[in-house]
A and B are shown apart, each in its own frame.
Chain A
Amino acid sequence: MAEYKKNKNLEIVGFACSYCSFKASEMAGSLRMKYPEGVKIVEVPCSSRVDPAFIIKAIVEGADGVFVSGCHPGDCHFIKGNYYTRRKIAALKEMFNAFSMQGRLRLFWVSASEARRFVEKVSSMYNHIKEKNNEREKA
């Protein structure tokens, strides 16, 4: 499949919990909502399953951005998994900042019914990274 050119689209790897965010992404699809094609989602049982090592691996291997998405605080199917995620990602974000990679990692909460919110969050992240990349190229 050689005709495909990578530089046109950004690669974003997402981790979505199977109870809320993955359901929202399914719903976004079935409502035929459009969001950037470069977004690819890994289904995890809970956002707390996401090891920071996965995020670093994705970035090291060439992803332009990574997002982690879970249920709203208090709504976690596993009671408080997403609180652990919040802490982990906050620590990881510090590291990303140290490498001037702000905005490459995002954490957001999307419930199963919020397909529109999912699309908005993903698109805004995509556009943000794209803008930053363009600025860098110009410089």
Chain B
Amino acid sequence: MRTGIFICHCGHNIKHTVDVKKLSEYFRNFPTVVVSEDYPFVCSEPGQAMIQDSIKKQGLNRVLIASCTPSLHTDLFKDLLKKSDLNPFLLRRVSIREHCSWVGNDIDYNTEKARRLILAGLYSASHSAPLEEKVVDVTQSALIIGGGVAGLSAALFLSRMGMQVYLVEKNNDLGGHVRKLKNLWPSGKDGEEIINEMVKTLQTRKNVAIFTSTRITGFEGFFGNYQVTLSTPEEEKKLTVGGVIIAIGFSPFNPGIKPELHYGKDERIITTLDFEDKGDTLTLPPQPKIAILHCVGSRDEQIGKLYCSRVCCINALRVTHALKTRYGDAYIESFYMDMRAHPRGGEEYYEDIQEKGVLFTRANVAEIIPTSKGIVIRGEDTLLGEVFEREFDLVVLSIGMSPPEDSKFIASLLKITLDKDQFFLEAHIKLRPYDTAIKGIFIAGSCSGPKDIEESINHGRASAVKLFGFLNLGYAFVDPFTAWVDPKRCSGCRMCEQACVAKAIQFDEVQRVVKVEEAACMGCGLCNATCPSSAIMLKGYVDSMIDDEISAFVETL
């Protein structure tokens, strides 16, 4: 056994609470350890060169990298081993950043903990065996759930690249919320125009199948071959797709949840979305008094929505602008918490509207009271610290984005995770913002958090690019962590056969032992934990590996 240990400083991230020098010196005394080095950034080019160099010069046959968590950079290091003609499964990652240096502050204890973690890695690496990655065929087609702007832009990209696209929409027309919007900022186009343009291009393409009024009722399989069941108005349809993009958008916040706003009780209280439909038919007295309320359903602790919906500031400004243009003599007052006109040109737009004579008041509105004369708004001016009560003829609530109604259903069907606000959770907020934790399933648009139209289109296209990169190869590597049976030990008790969820274990009547169907094995290791005679084992997680890890953790080996 010739093991090389590389301990990363990760700049200061690991070094500041773990004595890396001491660790690398300590591990040099081990008979099986040939190289033990610490380095500022192991994942950097020179760091990689150092590992490659050591593998060649010292003839390493185990590489242990103690650095960040295994879900980061593992592919990079695996490739490195492949380049050095070493089986990538002889690599062992030990997480001493997320699980050690960032957890505690005590240097002595952290160093000790890191030592044990690396020791556990070292012992367990000694049991690792070279494995061959499984290659599976990938179906070159994609399922896009949701026909809003994000879904449409993803479909446009994938279909242009020649991928078969199935676009599923639960409503009877495509376009989602954007279709309802008029006079969008800053282009001045109607939402319908944008949607029609996209749909028209999509309909000319032969490799696009659009299913409207359709829901997903079944989902199973793994990357490259997902089996989807659709329930279309005509029939139940089964599809096989390589990957999925979820773009189910958002649901507008329902102000009815907050009874103090009296939404729905008086037709003079409308939302920004109602304004799109009713805007032309409003009956207002001459010189009308109009109030715009920001942050309805966002940044509100009472209803558990602490997040900012990001788009409603600009949306409220857009409505304000439309009202001011239509009723030049109107008195318009906008009650805001903080103005977040973040998109390009947003601040100028805000200033422009201020100059037009719209009054902006920083306030917390407590109550809206409809009376027979007008609608009274009661609240607190947070700059003056005074309570006010004012009467208006029309109140527009700038509503935020709530998670889509179907987010829980889709999450449980596709087995992906939701964040605390019930939006879909990305695999990594900075490094993998489009991926979910499951390979081949991507998220796009505002179902992963509030986004404006431009961002949704970008997000959809980016997810499509990522998915295309996966599907275009036509094959994929799958972790070879499957169960393996030692026929000499197997007593033929068939306990594993009963336990196996994937039905990958069959009993051989002639030899009286069980056999594993590798293609069906999911690699959960349930059979390994069930077997009374330790005859079946999960490659990559064999008993002796975990046993030694435990021993190293509590140190009595």
Interface residues of A (CB under 8 A from B): 1, 3-4, 9, 11, 13, 19-20, 23, 25-26, 28-30, 32-46, 48-52, 54, 57-58, 61-63, 74-75, 77-81, 84, 88, 111-113
Q: Determine whether B104 belongs to the interface, using a CB cutoff of 8 Å to chain A.
A: yes
Q: Is the CB of A13 within 8 A of B99?
A: no
Q: Is the CB of B554 within 8 A of A61?
A: yes
Report chain B residues within 8 Å CB of A57.
547, 550-551
Q: Is the CB of B524 within 8 A of A46?
A: yes
New A-B pairs, 15, CB < 8 Å, besides A26-B69, A78-B502: A1-B26, A1-B115, A11-B554, A13-B554, A23-B71, A26-B98, A34-B105, A36-B104, A42-B553, A44-B525, A46-B525, A49-B528, A57-B550, A78-B501, A80-B501
Report chain A residues within 8 Å CB of B525.
44-46, 48-49
Contacting A74 at CB < 8 Å: which of B99, B412, B522? B412
**Which of chain A's residues has its CB closest to B501's CB?**
A79
Q: Determine whether B481 belongs to the interface, using a CB cutoff of 8 Å to chain A.
A: yes
A61 and B553 CA atoms in complex are apart in Å by 10
Q: Determine whether B556 belongs to the interface, using a CB cutoff of 8 Å to chain A.
A: yes
Q: Is the CB of A1 within 8 A of B112?
A: yes
Q: Is the CB of B538 within 8 A of A25?
A: no
Query: SS class of chain A's interface: helix, strand, loop or mixed?
Result: loop
B417 to A: closest C-beta gap in Å: 5
Number of B interface residues in the complex (CB < 8 A): 56
A28 and B543 CA atoms in complex are apart in Å by 28
Stretch of B55-63, B158-166, B261-269, B418-426 lying at the A interface = B418-426
Q: Is the CB of B553 within 8 A of A13?
A: yes
Q: Is the CB of A30 within 8 A of B98?
A: yes
Report chain B residues within 8 Å CB of A40.
99, 113, 116-117, 120, 553
A46 and B481 CA atoms in complex are apart in Å by 12
Q: Determine whether B480 belongs to the interface, using a CB cutoff of 8 Å to chain A.
A: no
Q: Determine whether B103 belongs to the interface, using a CB cutoff of 8 Å to chain A.
A: yes
Known: A26-B95, A29-B103, A79-B501. A45 touches B549 (CB 8 A): no
**Which of chain A's residues has its CB closest to B528's CB?**
A49
Q: Is the CB of A19 within 8 A of B553?
A: no
A16 to B: closest C-beta gap in Å: 10
Q: Is the CB of B524 within 8 A of A45?
A: yes
What are 22 A-B interface contacts by the 8 Å CB criterion? A11-B553, A23-B71, A29-B98, A29-B102, A40-B113, A40-B553, A42-B549, A45-B523, A49-B524, A50-B529, A54-B546, A61-B554, A61-B556, A62-B554, A62-B555, A63-B550, A75-B415, A79-B501, A84-B499, A112-B425, A113-B418, A113-B425
Q: Is the CB of A49 within 8 A of B117?
A: no
Report the number of A-B residue pairs with Cβ-Cβ less than 8 Å: 143
A67 to B: closest C-beta gap in Å: 13
Known: A30-B98, A48-B525, A54-B550. A19 touches B105 (CB 8 A): no
A1 and B425 CA atoms in complex are apart in Å by 41
**Which of chain A's residues has its CB closest to B99's CB?**
A29
Q: Determine whether B106 belongs to the interface, using a CB cutoff of 8 Å to chain A.
A: yes
A124 and B475 CA atoms in complex are apart in Å by 46
**Which of chain B's residues has its CB closest to A20's CB?**
B417
Q: Determine whether B437 belongs to the interface, using a CB cutoff of 8 Å to chain A.
A: yes
Contact with A along B515-557 (1 / 0, CB 8 A): 0000000111110110000000010010100110111011110
B366 to A: closest C-beta gap in Å: 31
Contacting B415 at CB < 8 Å: which of A13, A77, A81? A77
Known: A49-B526, A78-B526, A113-B418. A3 touches B104 (CB 8 A): no
A49 and B530 CA atoms in complex are apart in Å by 9
Q: Is the CB of A1 within 8 A of B111?
A: yes
Contacting B526 at CB < 8 Å: which of A13, A54, A81, A112? A81
Report chain B residues within 8 Å CB of A61.
550-551, 554, 556
A77 and B217 CA atoms in complex are apart in Å by 18
Q: Is the CB of B70 within 8 A of A34?
A: no
Q: Is the CB of A37 within 8 A of B109?
A: yes
Q: Is the CB of B102 within 8 A of A32?
A: yes
Q: Is the CB of B437 within 8 A of A19?
A: yes
Q: Determine whether B139 belongs to the interface, using a CB cutoff of 8 Å to chain A.
A: no
**Interface core residue of A13, A57, A112 (most chain B CB under 10 Å):** A112
Q: Is the CB of A9 within 8 A of B109?
A: yes
Q: Is the CB of A25 within 8 A of B99?
A: yes
Q: Is the CB of B554 within 8 A of A46?
A: no
A40 and B538 CA atoms in complex are apart in Å by 22
B47 to A: closest C-beta gap in Å: 21
A34 and B437 CA atoms in complex are apart in Å by 24
A20 and B425 CA atoms in complex are apart in Å by 12
Q: Is the CB of A3 within 8 A of B108?
A: yes
Contacting A84 at CB < 8 Å: which of B98, B104, B115, B526? B526
Report chain B residues within 8 Å CB of A79.
501-502
Q: Determine whether B310 belongs to the interface, using a CB cutoff of 8 Å to chain A.
A: no
Q: Is the CB of B109 within 8 A of A113?
A: no
Report chain B residues within 8 Å CB of A48.
524-526, 529
